[in-house]
Chains A and B, each alone.
Chain A
């Protein structure tokens, strides 16, 4: 079964607005990653945050991690129609191999 839960399940915004997605997980982790999946395609790695980090930026992406609450958030600023996709958080659960994914947030950015 999936380890994490993502919130919201679906999010619809207008181009230019910010989008925030949240992820919760259950076990201890070494790191947490966010991936994007366009409809019916493979996943693309977006950003990684290690368990000893609290915040990380990459372009229009900002990720936060609160290990005490076992939660993370992904903020996409100044969204574009091309950001329309499903976003998944993935944790390693302390493993150095397998990833455990959440159920994902479906983001729709309307032009």
Chain B
């Protein structure tokens, strides 16, 4: 069990550029979550998948954000036309359906200049 992994760990981009992050969950976990965390705050829920279906999206997930989990395994989170306000840590977590503990990856820190 290698845990939840996320790539890249750090991303610096210029405003207006598109970025994509990847999350690989624990292999037997069918639920996958994305959260965003800004400095000094707790994580905020963005969206979650059960298998390949995206079942819930937060209103924080604007039209510039899109997440996919095409085969029910890894997931990608894309941010189009990045803005400085998008600078944050993006956390991915996974769990088994029917359980409540979520296992978090190390996060991708995004800096938009």
Residues of A whose CB lies within 8 Å of any CB of B are 2, 4, 30-31, 33, 35, 40-45, 48, 88, 90, 92, 96-104
Contacts and interface: CB of A to CB of B under 8 A. Distances in A.
CB-CB nearest 10 A-B residue pairs: A101-B42, A42-B104, A98-B45, A43-B104, A42-B106, A45-B101, A88-B42, A101-B43, A104-B42, A42-B105
Contacts of A4: 42
Interface of B: 4, 31, 33, 35, 40-45, 48, 55-56, 58, 89, 91, 93, 100-107, 109
A99 B40 contact: no
A48 B101 contact: yes
Contacts of A35: 104
B19 to A, nearest CB: 19
Given A48-B100, A98-B33, A43 B43 contact: yes
A41 B42 contact: no
B4 A92 contact: no
A4 to B, nearest CB: 8
Contacts of B33: 97-99
8 contacts: A33-B100, A40-B89, A41-B107, A42-B91, A92-B100, A97-B56, A101-B44, A102-B42
B109 to A, nearest CB: 7
Given A41-B106, A42-B105, A97 B41 contact: no
Contacts of A102: 42
Given A2-B41, A45-B101, 10 more contacts: A33-B100, A40-B107, A42-B104, A42-B107, A43-B93, A88-B43, A97-B56, A98-B58, A99-B43, A103-B40
B9 to A, nearest CB: 10
A43 B56 contact: no
A99 B45 contact: yes
Nearest to B31: A97
